[in-house]
A and B are shown apart, each in its own frame.
Chain A
Amino acid sequence: MTSKPSLATPSRTAEDAPRLRIGEWIIENLIRLAGLSTIVIIGLIFLFLLREGGPAFLDIPLRQLFGTRWYPIEGIYGLAPLLVGSLLVTVGAVIIAVPLGLITAIYLGEIAPPWQREILKPLIEMLAGIPSIVLGFLGWVALAPLIQNAGAATGLTAFTGAVILAYMSLPTIISISEDALYAVPKEYRDGALAIGATQWQTIWRVVLPAARSGIVIAVMLGIGRAIGETMAVMMVTGNAANIPAFGSGMIFEPVRTMTATIAAEMGEVAQGSLHYNTLFGIGIVLFVITFAINSLAGRIVGTRGARRSGGKL
């Protein structure tokens, strides 16, 4: 009795199978090819970076490599000033962009009436479309004089770079965290309001915690955008490869970032020289930092996601 349907089912699929299977096979393998090619290309890039930049880590004594002097002409390659420069600019940008971006996202997603949202969202997306060089230009012409007038020795400082970078990463932070807020079910808001929460209490205690993983992704992508940016930063940070004196004023000193160093010096370097290798070495350092940020984001989001789905079951 049970054998009849079990026989009938396979025979039907076997009949339809050949035509179906060729199409399936082609599509499946196209997808596989696309996926694998990405992995292969990333692998090749990393190998290339290692080949070109690796010698720097072997040939330069470690003490010099992490030293505070970057004088390629004299053959002294200390990465510390560049690391500090990148760090100052990026951290500054994050400190400006994250609160501003989050507040904007909350306003857009939770408070703004629909007509304002319809105006603001395209505007913010347009901000993402402004070429970085244009923003750099703006920083050079408009922001730098302001900062100089405010009392800094020069307008081209880490702070100028941080502001420009903040505005570059804002669209990313805003639109991704707004998506995260939007994904929070309406029932949460109803539930909170129904027990007497005010709108702000609902946002702070219920909506934001529920959207936390999406917001973490938004922030991490914003940082990723900031740390890798080159042109705009090169234009407005003053390009001085020295470590500013430690203190509260250090953000108003000229600095030079890792990315700017590569861009500025790559054109004039002899291929295969130690200087050339060192520039690629900087590339490796950047790669490692971005990779670390991304995997940190993945881990934060991953554990929370797992906990939540585990909870549902």
Chain B
Amino acid sequence: MTQAKISIQNLYYTYEDGIEALRDISVDIPPNEIFVLFGPARSGKSTLLRLLNRLSDLDDGLAQGAVYFNGQDVFTRSMNVSDLRRRISMVFAIPTPLPGSIYDNLTYGLKMAGIREKGELDRRVEQSLKQSALWDEVKDRLGSSAFALSGGQKQRLCLARSLALEPDVVVLDNPTSGLDPISTATVEESLYSLKERYTIIMVPHSVQQAARVADRAGFLLDGELVEVGKADKLFVQPQDQRTEDYITGRFG
């Protein structure tokens, strides 16, 4: 078996006020797959995602357990957090274009990583925009403000911004929350084509979306990872009653 891209072992997370957000999470995420993490609101999905690239450093809470990325513990002191976040890149539910032009948005991360050569920047901009299916719409106005884009375009811009870094893992926290069905389909299609190069971890908008895009899925409920399995089994024949209840719409 190939080595897991990300391996989470006995991970607990407790908020400052003592509330346990994640309880004993253990899961291996193999490379070049779309791993979908689904469950009802406030079940700890975003919290788990933010732990993967240590964005959780910004939050007041305590993590126990381990997250291994390519076999390396991400919580060690010596870990270069900026470098980790370039390799495990994240896209949020609310698109977050930064002030500046479309081109600026895509090159922020690259410049901060020390890449300054114009040819390389241009190549990465074009490649990432094509991967996120935005190139045709914006190729003639890379210099105009990123705020002028539509909601769906902004979200694909943020995806492109992550991809421009050529990361190992792309983490998406409900990337289609504010999008219309057509834009959603566009984003989903680009995800399909991306898994050849990247490992994708995603919190979906709905169970339907989870079933559409997932290779492998995990059901998270009240901070507990109830069930993990291949998508074609988990969504058809769930092993746990709670998973079945959620999938069939009995709650949540």
Q: Which residues of A approach B to under 8 Å, CB–CB?
A: 185, 187-198, 201, 205-206, 209-210, 307-308, 311-312
Contact = CB atoms under 8 A, between A and B. Distances in A.
Nearest to A114: B60
Interface stretch (B24-32, B33-41, B85-93, B174-182): B85-93
A191 to B, nearest CB: 3
A26 B232 CA distance: 69
Nearest to B88: A194
B43 interface: no
Given A195-B86, A196-B82, A197-B109, 5 more contacts: A191-B98, A193-B85, A194-B92, A197-B108, A205-B108
Contact of B108 (A185, A189, A192, A198): A192
A187 B92 contact: yes
A177 B143 CA distance: 29
A188 B55 CA distance: 13
A88 B177 CA distance: 56
Contacts, number: 71
A194 B89 contact: yes
B55 A192 contact: no
Contact of A188 (B53, B96, B112): B96
Interface of B: 53, 55, 58, 82-83, 85-86, 89-92, 94, 96-100, 108-109, 112-113, 145, 147-148, 158, 161-162, 165
Contacts of B158: 191
Contact of B112 (A185, A187, A195, A312): A195
8 contacts: A188-B98, A190-B55, A194-B55, A194-B90, A195-B89, A205-B112, A307-B145, A311-B145
B55 A196 contact: no
A249 B34 CA distance: 68
Contacts of A198: 82, 112
B82 A187 contact: no
Most buried by B among A185, A197, A206, A210: A197
B165 A191 contact: no
A197 B55 CA distance: 11
Given A209-B100, A210-B99, A311-B145, A196 B109 contact: yes
A188 B147 CA distance: 13
B55 A193 contact: yes
A194 to B, nearest CB: 4
Contacts of B85: 193-196
A197 B92 contact: no
Contacts of A206: 98-99, 108
A197 B107 CA distance: 12
Nearest to A308: B147
A198 B58 CA distance: 12
Given A195-B108, A205-B108, A311 B58 contact: no
Contact of B96 (A191, A196, A201, A308): A191
Contact of A195 (B58, B99, B148, B162): B162
A235 B82 CA distance: 52
Given A209-B100, A210-B99, A196 B165 contact: yes
Nearest to B106: A195
